């Protein structure tokens, strides 16, 4: 190829040379020794430049093969032009292989193998081969550039195909979601269709049933039309009867108006009669006296009958239920041994011997209790020495029964019963109850188990324009039945101050006062009433020489006797018509001011002990009761508006 001529090779010596590799013996002396080959498939490299070209061509061959593999991988999706490029690449590869084979065999075609010593000929052959290889490399480079361009084109198409694949995947996902929604909708539609079919069947059955019913109705209609003719005749007769009834109704309406006028007249007469009854009732009570006194002697107790078998010092006239004689034997004032019998006779509005029951006693005061509903203040209290039966008379025993009930529960029962009867006459009542005691000249609320020591109860006037009294901070409880009041009485009885003394096993150490405020209203007659029913159980009087009281008991006895003495002073002042009445000397008389002052009706029980040993106390009690009975106060007035 125009290079420098190769110098002739030196003749080789046949003598052994040290440090030199022995040459391989040739099979033919005219053939040069075969060079070592790196690869079995490639031709021998005649020179460095040829080897570099071959290496370059071999290094660029894999992209073409890779492109061919890529082409085969996507050949199922590529268009027809891509498949044509793939065929061209395959043809190019085959042409390269053919040229290489031709180049490899070119030396053999030029002639036989040169002799080892013909170096110039060998160089000439190598130059020819190099030239051939260069041409082949140029062709391969051109084909390689075409393949690279085609590969880029294929890569572009591959990216397009990938983009299309992603779009198709997105569309497929969207279509899958839509498909699932449509499937769900289809299932719902199928279920709806199934339900509609069931409903259709039900409707068909209903239509069949209604068709049967319709036939029955048509048959009944025909029957009714048949009966209508008869009913028309009856209707005419009914209309005639109705016309006659309307005439009768008009006549009855006139009669009804006359009856209503008669009813109004009778109601007015009934009201006038009720007012007359109240007036006559009040006149009867006034004739009996606004301050009435009943005397009651209790029977002997079981333990007392052993010491005293009879009551010789007490006598009750058989024909007179208003007298009592108290007698005993006393020594003669002349100094002789003969004893004289001294008698003390007392007359009251009613005297109850030991055999009298609670019912007998209440029967006498029931009319007085009725006055409370008529609008009058009523006060009933029991007076006497300790152990004379005051608490039994007013409240009854601890084991209360209908037969042994005292005046307070019986009065409450009558008030509620009478109020219920008065409803038919147009009256409606409201009731408020309170219960207190006067212990050592201090007021205590018996309806409170644990009263507040800081809230002291005091008596006050309701206003400066009235003399009515009330106690602030006292429990005023609305009641509507007898049972509610009985519960309050039991609570008050448990809270009342009692103690044991030498005279009485269970002695009341305070004055107790139960009040029932009554408000009545008659809307038809435009009338209203307001009254207070007061029921008082006074503490018993005691003589200190008999009671032997000490300490707290002594203080209680002194307070009780003082308040009872003040009560006697008030009664005396009322009897003497004195200008000043000492009501405020004690809490008891101040609290009973309205009951003692003439504006109310009052009844006093004087309770007497049957024991002869209590003769002196019984005599004092009877004398005090006689003084009260002789007292004349003003006429009671009703609180009516």
Q: Residues forming the annotated binding site for ATP?
A: 384-391
Q: What is the CA radius of gyration of the chain?
A: 71
Residue 592 has what DSSP assignment? T
Contact (CB, 8 A) for 40 and 47: no
Nearest CA to 31 among 108, 129, 104, 109?
A: 108
User: CA-to-CA distance for 95 and 135, rounded, in angstroms?
Assistant: 13
Any residues with CB less than 8 A from the CB of 396 and at least 6 apart, and which? Answer: 358, 404, 405, 406, 409
Give me the DSSP letters along 358-419: HHHHHHHHHHHHHHHHTT-EEEEEEEEBTTSSHHHHHT--SS--TTT--HHHHHHHHHHHHH
Contact (CB, 8 A) for 361 and 294: yes
Contact (CB, 8 A) for 53 and 134: yes
Residue 142 has what DSSP assignment? H
Q: Is 14 exposed, middle or buried (0-12, 13-18, 19+ CB in 10 A)?
A: exposed
Contact (CB, 8 A) for 561 and 541: yes
User: CA-to-CA distance for 524 and 425, rounded, in angstroms?
Assistant: 9
**Binding-site positions:** 384-391
Bridge partner residues of 344 (DSSP):
326
Nearest CA to 346 among 110, 23, 623, 108?
A: 623
Q: Is 292 exposed, middle or buried (0-12, 13-18, 19+ CB in 10 A)?
A: buried
Any residues with CB less than 8 A from the CB of 608 and at least 6 apart, and which? Answer: 295, 296, 297, 298, 314, 324, 384, 388, 618, 621, 622
Beta-strand runs (E) in 207-338:
291-297, 314-315, 323-331
Contact (CB, 8 A) for 380 and 409: no
Q: Is 116 helix (H, G, I), strand (E, B) or coil?
A: coil
- Cα torsion 584, 585, 588, 592: sign: negative
Q: Is 223 exposed, middle or buried (0-12, 13-18, 19+ CB in 10 A)?
A: exposed
User: CA-to-CA distance for 264 and 253, rounded, in angstroms?
Assistant: 16
Tokens for 581? 């009445």
User: CA-to-CA distance for 584 and 401, rounded, in angstroms?
Assistant: 39
Q: Half-sphere exposure (CA, 13 Å, Cβ side) for 167?
A: 6
Contact (CB, 8 A) for 60 and 144: yes
Contact (CB, 8 A) for 375 and 531: yes
């Amino acid at each position: 190829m125009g290079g420098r001529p190769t110098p002739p090779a030196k003749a080789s010596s046949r003598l052994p040379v040290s440090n030199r590799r022995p040459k391989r013996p040739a099979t033919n002396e005219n053939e040069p020794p075969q060079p070592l080959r790196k690869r079995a498939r490639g031709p021998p490299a005649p020179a460095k430049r040829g080897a570099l070209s071959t290496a370059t061509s071999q290094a660029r061959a894999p992209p073409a093969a890779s492109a061919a593999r890529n082409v085969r991988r996507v050949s199922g999706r590529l268009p027809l032009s891509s498949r044509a490029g793939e065929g061209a690449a395959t043809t190019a590869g085959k042409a390269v292989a053919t040229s290489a084979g031709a180049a490899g065999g070119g030396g053999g075609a030029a002639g036989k193998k040169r002799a080892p010593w013909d170096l110039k000929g060998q160089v000439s052959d190598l130059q020819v081969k190099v030239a051939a290889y260069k041409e082949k490399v140029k062709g391969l480079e051109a084909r390689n550039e075409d393949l690279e361009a085609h590969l880029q084109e294929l890569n572009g198409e591959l990216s397009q195909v990938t983009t299309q694949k992603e779009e198709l995947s997105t569309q497929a996902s969207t279509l899958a979601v839509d498909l699932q929604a449509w499937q769900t909708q289809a299932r719902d539609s199928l279920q709806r269709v199934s339900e509609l079919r069931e409903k259709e069947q039900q409707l068909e059955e209903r239509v069949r049933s209604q068709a049967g019913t319709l036939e029955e109705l048509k048959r009944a209609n025909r029957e009714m039309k048949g009966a209508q003719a008869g009913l028309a005749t009856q209707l005419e007769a009914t209309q005639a009867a109705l016309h006659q009834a309307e005439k009768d109704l008009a006549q009855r309406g006139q009669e009804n108006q006359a009856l209503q006028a008669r009813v109004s007249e009778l109601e007015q007469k009934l009201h006038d009669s009720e007012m007359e009854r109240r007036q006559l009732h009040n006149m009867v009570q006034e004739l009996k006296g606004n301050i009435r006194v009943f005397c009651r002697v209790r029977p002997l107790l079981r333990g007392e009958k052993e010491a005293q078998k009879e009551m010789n010092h007490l006598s009750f006239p058989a024909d007179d239920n208003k007298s009592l004689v108290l007698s005993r034997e006393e020594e003669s004032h002349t100094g002789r041994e003969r004893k004289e019998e001294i008698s003390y006779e007392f007359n009251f509005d009613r005297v109850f011997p030991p055999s009298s029951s609670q019912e007998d006693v209440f029967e006498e005061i029931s009319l007085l209790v009725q006055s409370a509903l008529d609008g009058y203040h009523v006060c009933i209290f029991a007076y006497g020495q300790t152990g004379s039966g005051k608490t039994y008379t007013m409240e009854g025993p601890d084991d209360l029964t209908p037969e042994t009930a005292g005046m307070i529960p019986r009065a409450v029962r009558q008030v509620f019963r009478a109020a219920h009867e008065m409803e038919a006459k147009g009256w409606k009542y409201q009731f408020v109850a309170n219960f207190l005691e006067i212990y050592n000249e201090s007021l205590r609320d018996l309806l409170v188990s644990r009263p507040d020591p800081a809230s002291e109860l005091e008596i006050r006037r309701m206003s400066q324009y009235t003399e009515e009294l009330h106690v602030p901070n006292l429990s005023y409880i609305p009641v509507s039945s007898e049972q509610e009041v009985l519960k309050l009485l039991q609570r008050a009885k448990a809270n009342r101050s009692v103690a044991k003394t030498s005279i009485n096993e269970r002695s009341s150490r305070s004055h107790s006062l139960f009040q029932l405020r009554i408000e009545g209203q008659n809307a038809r007659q435009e009338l209203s009433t307001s009254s207070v029913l007061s029921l008082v159980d006074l503490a018993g009087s005691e003589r200190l020489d008999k009671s032997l009281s000490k300490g707290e008991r002594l203080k209680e006895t002194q307070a009780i006797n003082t308040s009872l003495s003040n009560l006697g002073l008030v009664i005396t002042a009322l009897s003497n018509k004195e200008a000043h009445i000492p009501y405020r000397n004690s809490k008891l008389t101040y609290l009973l001011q309205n009951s003692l002052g003439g504006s109310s009706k009052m009844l006093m029980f004087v309770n007497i002990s049957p024991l002869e040993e209590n003769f002196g106390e019984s005599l004092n009690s009877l004398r005090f009761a006689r003084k009260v009975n002789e007292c004349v106060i003003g006429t009671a007035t009703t609180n009516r508006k």
